[in-house]
Chain A
Amino acid sequence: MDHRPQAWGRPRDDVYGAYDASYLHNNGPKTATQSPIVTGTSVIAIKFKDGVVMAADNLASYGSLARFTDVKRLRPFLSTSVVGFGGDVSDMQFLDRHLKELATDEAYEHEASSTTTDEGGSGAGEGQLNAANLYKYLSKLMYRRRNDFDPLWNQILVAGLDAHAKPFLASVDLRGTTFTSPSLATGFGAMLAQPIMRRYAATEEDAARLTREEAVNVIKECMKVLFYRDARSLDRYSIAVVTKDGVELSEDEQLEKQSWAFAERIRGYGTQVV
């Protein structure tokens, strides 16, 4: 028994080792964050003639554990844009709620400045945030949070139309890094899907020649490759097509026409033939 009052109420040193009081002291920079826990993998998207196609699978992983298999990672905004989230799911939910509030504030603003609308007022009205505006907002938010040393642990794709009604697609990550391209992919997709998408849309001109059907097929092909080669992926996924007519979102797609039968021809690992 240690009779020093300082030791009372502490785990015994001889059993647990010296008490680690390091967390009580705050030396060095503030590190509020952490590492992602429940995570989503790649998001991929490609522009086409009239809009953008985006897809992400429905899995939220917990380390290597496929823990939640019904997580929808594509979120429509004001029926003008789609936001796709990779990375931490709790931060995705935070952003989702934040965007919902933003949409409500937008509706207030829009109502205050509008005169008479022809029909109720759904969809992208005059002066409402388009995808480019939303993206600018999100990228500033992400960059600010990284400067607070409290980043939102996500890679985000934003798709929709810009102010000139041209297809818009851009990316922002947890550091506030921003870029845009005719096709974009986060996570594993950047390595596995992006080369495939570039075969079809290396430049804006190429993308402007793609039809909707072609773009959807490219995306579906990429999702298949990702399922083959990404160990944190799932064969159920969501796909969204955003055009001037709004967002079409399907959240329960199943990968089709997979190729596995060739496994039959693989025998042993070298010279074996039986």
Chain B
Amino acid sequence: MEFGNSGSLREDGIHLDMDRLKKGEVNLGTSIMAVTFKDGVILGADSRTTTGAYIANRVTDKLTQVHDTIWCCRSGSAADTQAVADIVKYQLELFAMRNGKPPTTQTAGAIFQEICYDNKDRLSAGLIIAGWDERHGGQVYSIPLGGSLHKQPYSIGGSGSTYIYGYCDANWREGMEEADAVDFVKGALKEAIKWDGSSGGVIRMVVLTAEGADRHLYLPDTDYKVRHV
């Protein structure tokens, strides 16, 4: 499979997600992240989808539910990541029915990882899996391009993430309260949107706890200060 002539990894090639796109493909330029906190996890994302420099969708939802309280953030090819998420959603639904118990975040991570690894030469998908389950509480798994599986206290991904490694490392604290964790995600995504041309639009979040899934929405025209929804 050809990915275009800049498809190989440059020594300093951190914009590799873009290089791996197939010709004419819609790109989730993207800033995505997920963090663990005291009561669970929070996923966050911008809302920009680009084809080259054109914004194909300015209100994209990159936070995708694969089970009640297991969600993922998608980066890379929109088509690929949607296809993978659809497969995993189906598998997890089947798991829940067959085994009479909800799948864990680990189950989701394992299935995502297998698909991404087995099809590594066909997919451009950078995923962050985050979920809450009764047994393991909130967990975050990162599955970058090659299809490896990394457990992390928090994870950032997409082209915009390269601008906020410093911000996140400096401001991250373990076991935050929900409000502080929301502020952390919002602060980080604001910076990513500011510096990354491929990220922009609104900030979406999903908070996953024992209570279930709770959506947040923050808009740029109110400087992301007011929570809508």
Contacts and interface: CB of A to CB of B under 8 A. Distances in A.
A–B contact with Cβ pairs below 8 Å: the answer is yes
Interface of A: 10-11, 16-17, 19-20, 22-23, 32-38, 60, 62-65, 67-68, 71, 88-94
B227 to A, nearest CB: 31
B168 to A, nearest CB: 12
B162 interface: yes
Contacts of B147: 90
Interface in B1-24: 1-2, 4, 8-14, 16, 22-24
A34 B11 contact: no
B172 to A, nearest CB: 13
Interface string B189-218: 000000000000000000000000000000
A106 B146 CA distance: 30
Contacts, number: 75
Contacts of A67: 144
Contact of B14 (A16, A36, A62, A71): A62
A64 to B, nearest CB: 4
Contacts of B165: 65
A34 B121 contact: yes
B8 A35 contact: yes
B159 to A, nearest CB: 12
Q: Which of B23, B152, B165 has the most CB of A within 10 A?
A: B23
A17 B4 CA distance: 13
A245 to B, nearest CB: 31
Nearest first, the 5 closest Cβ-Cβ pairs linking A and B are A11-B24, A37-B146, A90-B148, A90-B146, A89-B148
A71 to B, nearest CB: 7
B136 interface: no
B14 A38 contact: no
Given A63-B12, A63-B16, A94-B117, A38 B148 contact: yes
Nearest to B150: A68
A34 B7 CA distance: 10
Contacts of B12: 63-64
B16 A62 contact: yes
Given A33-B121, A63-B16, A20 B148 contact: no
Interface residues of B, number: 30
Contacts of B152: 68
B38 interface: no
A18 to B, nearest CB: 9
A90 B146 CA distance: 6
Nearest to A33: B121
A39 B148 CA distance: 10
Nearest to A89: B148
29 contacts: A10-B24, A16-B23, A19-B23, A19-B24, A20-B23, A20-B24, A22-B2, A23-B2, A33-B121, A34-B120, A35-B8, A35-B9, A37-B120, A37-B145, A38-B144, A38-B145, A60-B150, A62-B14, A63-B10, A63-B11, A63-B12, A64-B11, A65-B14, A65-B162, A65-B165, A68-B150, A71-B150, A90-B146, A91-B146
A37 B144 contact: yes
Residue from A19, A34, A90, A93 with most neighbouring chain B CB atoms (10 Å): A90
A23 B150 CA distance: 31
Nearest to A66: B165
A20 B24 CA distance: 9
Contacts of A33: 121
Nearest to B118: A94
Contacts of A60: 148, 150
Contacts of B162: 65
